[in-house]
Structure 1
Amino acid sequence: MSEGNIHLTSAEIGSLWTGYMQDSMSKCVLSFMLKHIEDKDIKPAIQYAYDIASNHLEQLLHIFEKDNYAVPNGFTEQDVNINAPWLFTDTFCLNYINHMAKAGMIAYGGFLSMSAREDIRNYFTQALNETAELYNQTGEIALSKGTNARHPYIEVPKETDYVNSKKYLSGLNPFHHNRPLNAIEISHLYMNVLTNTIGAKLCIAFSQTSPSKDVQDFMLRGKNISQKHIKIFADTLLKDDIETPQVPDVAVSDSTTQTFSDRLLMYHISLISASGIGNYATAAAASQRSDLMINYERLSLEISRFAKSAADIMIKHEWLEQPPGIKDRKKLAKNKQKG
């Protein structure tokens, strides 16, 4: 059977829609970065990321046309003020691209695993490989410049061992000394420090450049949540005498000129929030100390409430583009009866 006769599944439709929305947003952000970035080592990586997003949009449009799929509105050049003053440091741009590439690899891996049709699988395989290359490229540049954020060091194991007590899983008893963190738990704690640092800085930049009071208040709330979570994770590491390594320069300028549309800002932070919930769920599942699991669960709930308020704001201002879905059969039947 030819691909033309194989209908897209709900998973493929949802994945393609999400991919288009994310790449159209990325293209706007990256076009602004390319306009202003000066570092000759970093700029090629930003250009590569921009080219990836542009090529993805072209391929997606081809798929949409072939399958009579309504093209999402997404984001366009109207959602970015390319001539606004420089908002980020060059190092922030590098770390931002690296962070988004991490999230992209997870997303494309998921999209690929849910796809059945050959052309869709080929597209997501290519996208996954390109995003992995972008991650490696930005990581190498950061390493060469000494601006990479490296996870804490611990001793390499010299022998294997087994858990010999249920106390290994405990962590809630304030009168009981918690066992030291293991390598897996340390890695997730530190990674969530990094992701919240990026999120906090984006919220600061977006709050000071948005003209909307709703958006400003929302972004400041997001900054406070991120900083609170950073402190919780860093303090957990410090209790085992593990200092959080210095996070690279991720500063933003003092520009207050609107740089991106409020619709793009809200979508971007909603996307990061969803990624954060996923990170916390993964960290909770990988952690074996009960206090860590409960921390991730309660902090996930806080992010979920934050994400809900984002949706409320976007609906209020008619900024929330609706994903594809099935027809409301009850509504169709009622409308038929009225007719």
Structure 2
Amino acid sequence: MSNLNSIPLTSSELGYLWTGYSINEMSKWYLSVFREQSSDEEIKNVYSFAIQNTSEMLLTRKEILTNDRFPIPVGFSNTDIDESSPPLFSNRFMLYYLHTAAQLGLEFHSRSVALATREDVRKYNKSCLTSAIQLNERVVDLLLNKGTYWRTPPLPTPSEPEDIQRTSYLNGWFGVTRPMNSMEMGNLYSILNLLIMMETLFMGFAQTSNHEEITELFHEGVKVVKKQYNVLAELLKEEHLPIPPTYSAEITDTKKRVFSDRIMVSHMAGLFGSLVSQYGFSLGSVMKHDLLATYTLQIGKAGVFSEKVTKVLIEREWLEKVPGAISRKL
């Protein structure tokens, strides 16, 4: 390919490059603060690795977007953080937060690889995915070494392959119902893990915001997340499966500002978007009627609150516009 710049970015490539830049740009501020607030050298080191990866991703994203004459998202600045603030969360939660972030990064980058066409973008997205894999490996190893990794339950090994023989396999409301299969369980646990992280993070945000309206928004977000956690946990209880522990006790008592309202509300909006995506992905493997109905209902509830958060960002002019199609209406 002689001249990459003569080939314009596709909408798919642009969307993931631009959105990825916004995510990385916001992430670096959280990573920097949590690295400084951690008192564990091993956790600090893995955060340093994450910051290095994020910085490298930002440089190349900026280069590609600039070469194609797209404006770079403004993002945030030093005024949006206070690294000198006392720790808001425990070391244990900060490692859990990074693990969840690494998992979300894996999903984002694998999707960007699948949708890329231009040679330089494919190469770049592949390098981002490789970095995300490396980060996830380091975080998982550290969690295992510290004995804080919560494993999903093992399942009995079947003696032989078995076909589905009855349509009752799909039942969930009436008649004989079956237990969840391993795919349904795996995706359910992934959603729960994200909800657990969101609950703790929003409780910490609410504790350090100085504006009543924003504090109330975080409290409402906690309620939405808790309700969804309880609904999904009940599905596990019904099948006598273990429920992952929450991290709400991992918040310190500090009320001093750590992050600005803008960067906290922006993070909240992004996480609710990730939650809806998690539900949507999980729907593809669901075969039980009751599980399908539960996910569909929770998507609607998460979507309603996500819209409320987005309106707050728009009203305060805190939300940058993603590049999109030109309106052709007269």
TM-score, normalised via structure 1 length: 0.93
* 1:126-173: CA deviation from partner (whole Å, max 9, x where unpaired): 001101110111001001111001101221222111111111101112
Distance 1:146 1:193 in 2: 20
Counterpart in the other structure of 1:281 = 280
- The 8 Å contact of residues 91 and 250 in structure 1, kept in 2 or not, is answered as no
Counterpart residue number, 1:243: 242
Contact 2:169 2:288 in 1 (8 A): yes
Per the TM alignment, residue 71 of structure 1 is displaced from its structure 2 partner at its CA by 1.3
* Contact 2:200/2:247, CA 8 A, preserved across alignment: no
Task: Indicate the SS of the match to 2:239.
Answer: coil
Q: What residue identity is the alignment partner of 2:149?
A: N
Q: What is the rounded CA distance, in whole Å, between the counterparts of 1:159 and 1:329 in structure 2? A: 59
* 1:194 is the counterpart of 2:196: no
SS in 1 for 2:141: helix
8 A Cα contact 1:24 1:76, kept in partner: no
Residue matched to 1:234: 233
**Which residue does 1:303 correspond to in 2?**
302
Q: Contact 1:148–1:248 (CA<8 Å) still a contact in 2?
A: no
Are the counterparts in 2 of residues 171 and 178 from structure 1 also a CA contact under 8 Å? yes
Q: What is the aligned partner in structure 1 of residue 223 from structure 2?
A: 224
CA distance in 2, matches of 1:241, 1:66: 56
Q: Which residue of 1 aligns with 2:19?
A: 18
Residue 57 (structure 1) aligned with residue 58 (structure 2):
yes
1:140 to 1:165, Cα distance in 2 relative to 1, 3 A: same
SS of corresponding position for 1:41: helix
- Residue number in structure 1 paired with 2:205: 206
Task: State the distance in 2 between where 1:79 and 1:225 align.
Answer: 26
For these two proteins, the number of residue pairs brought into alignment is 329
Distance 2:61 2:189 in 1: 35
Provide the secondary structure at the position in 2 that maps to 1:255. Answer: coil
- Residues 21 and 99 from structure 1, CA distance in 2 versus in 1: closer, same or farther, beyond 3 angstroms? same
- Residue 284 of structure 2 aligns to a residue whose secondary structure is helix
Offset, 1:315:
1.0
Letter of the structure 1 residue corresponding to residue 122 of structure 2: R
SS across alignment from 2:294: helix
> Which amino acid is 1:114 matched to?
L
| Superposition pairs of residues 162-201 of structure 1, within 5 angstroms | 162-173=163-174, 176-201=175-200
Deviation of residue 245 (structure 1)? 4.2
Q: Which amino acid aligns with 2:90?
A: T
Which range is displaced more, 58-67 or 196-205?
58-67
Assess if the C-alpha contact under 8 Å between 1:152 and 1:244 holds in 2: no
Q: Deviations over 1:223-282 (max 9, x none)?
A: 111111111112111111112144568711122122112121111111111111111112
Contact 2:193-2:244 within 8 A present in 1 as well: no
Amino acid at match of 1:290: H
Specify the code of the residue in structure 1 equivalent to 2:167: K
Equivalent in the alignment of 1:135: 136
Query: What is the CA-CA distance between 1:61 and the residue it aligns to?
Result: 2.1
Q: Say if 2:35 and 2:44, in contact at 8 Å, map to a contact too.
A: yes
Distance 1:250 1:94 in 2: 15
**Once the 2 structures are TM-superposed, how far is the Cα of residue 53 of structure 1 from its aligned partner?**
1.0
Contact 2:196 2:247 in 1 (8 A): no
Q: CA RMSD in A?
A: 1.6
Aligned residue for 2:68?
A: 67
Q: 2-side partners of 1:287 and 1:80: how far apart?
A: 41
Q: Secondary structure at the match of 1:286?
A: coil
The corresponding residue for 1:336 is none
Residue 88 of structure 1 aligns to which amino acid in structure 2? Answer: F
- Please tell me whether residue 30 in structure 1 is matched to residue 57 in structure 2: no
Q: Deviations over 1:198-234 (max 9, x none)?
A: 0100110111111222221111111111111111112
Amino acid paired to 1:153? P
> Residues 26-54 of structure 1, C-alpha deviation per residue, up to 9 Å, x if partnerless?
10001101212111221111110111111
Partner of 1:103: 104
The equivalent residue for 2:256 is 257
More off after superposition, 280-289 vs 193-202: 280-289
How far is 1:68 from its partner? 2.1
Tell me, yes or no, if the aligned pair for 1:189 and 1:237 is still in contact at 8 Å: no
- Cα separation, partners in 2 of 1:106 and 1:250, compared to 1, 3 Å: farther
CA distance in 2, matches of 1:165, 1:64: 53
**Pairing 1:142-153 to 2, within 5 Å after superposition:** 142-153=143-154
CA distance 1:247–1:312, shift in 2 (3 Å): closer
Comparing 35-44 and 249-258, the one that deviates more? 249-258
- Matching residue of 2:84: 83
CA contact (8 A) 2:168 2:176 kept: no
Equivalent in the alignment of 1:93:
94
Gaps of 5+ in 1: 334-339
Q: What residue is the counterpart of 1:337 in the other structure?
A: none
